[in-house]
Structure 1
Amino acid sequence: MIIYNVTIKVETSVADKWVQWMKEEHINDMMNTGLFSDYRMCKLMEQDEAEGVTFVVQYHTDSIENYQSYVNEHAPKMRQKGLSKFADKMVAFRTVMEVIN
């Protein structure tokens, strides 16, 4: 299994609005690509929140090919939607992991 991991620091002033957008729109858009089988959204705890609240969203997929399809066909549009709504109120970085059991 491949996990596409997105870590986002969101300014406190828009954190609730951002979470609502994620739950109502963005995660649904991600899952509707058909490339991911599951997801998990978490808030990091025991973090200094002076500069914002940190969240982690993990999208699970069965193959690196599905992840590559997402990157090539959907990622620019998805990222632009977030930037158009929250622009300078958030910063994100992305990692890809392979589950080893």
Structure 2
Amino acid sequence: MILYNVTVNIDMMVEEEWINWMKATHIPNVMATGLFTDNKFYKLLHESEDGGVNYSVQYFAEDIQKIHDYQENHAPALQEEVREKFEGRFVTFRSVLELVP
């Protein structure tokens, strides 16, 4: 199992709008690619020094090829939608993790 984790620091002024948009639009669009088997959406409980709020959006894939397919063929357009809607209001950090049996 491979985890594609997206950690987002979002401006508190748009936090509620961003959460609603993520749940109603972005996460369903990522899942509609058919490359992920499941997803989780978490709020980090520690405070951010810059006044933003941190979230982790996790997408689970069966293998690394599905992650590569997503990154090459789907991520650029989906990430551009986020930039257009919330430009200057967020910072993102992405990581890919492998389950250790």
**TM-score, structure 1 normalization:** 0.96
Which runs of 5 or more structure 2 residues have no equivalent in the other structure? none
Cα deviation, 1:25-46, whole Å, max 9, x if unaligned, reads 0000000000000000000002
The one-letter code matched in structure 2 to 1:27 is: I
Report deviation, 1:48. Answer: 3.3
Cα deviation, 1:44-101, whole Å, max 9, x if unaligned, reads 0022365211000010000000000001100100100000000100010100000112
**How do 1:16-35 and structure 2 match up within 5 A?**
16-35=16-35
**C-alpha separation in 2, matches of 1:46 and 1:6:** 17
Aligned position for 2:63: 63
Identity of aligned residues (%): 39
Aligned position for 2:53: 53
**C-alpha separation in 2, matches of 1:69 and 1:48:** 32
Distance 1:49 1:18, change over 3 A: farther
Aligned position for 2:12: 12
The one-letter code matched in structure 1 to 2:82 is: G
- Provide the aligned C-alpha RMSD in A: 1.0
- Figure out how many residues of one structure are paired with residues of the other and give that number: 101
SS at match of 1:35: coil
Cα deviation, 1:6-33, whole Å, max 9, x if unaligned, reads 0000000000000000000000000000
Aligned position for 2:86: 86
**C-alpha separation in 2, matches of 1:24 and 1:53:** 19
SS at match of 2:30: helix
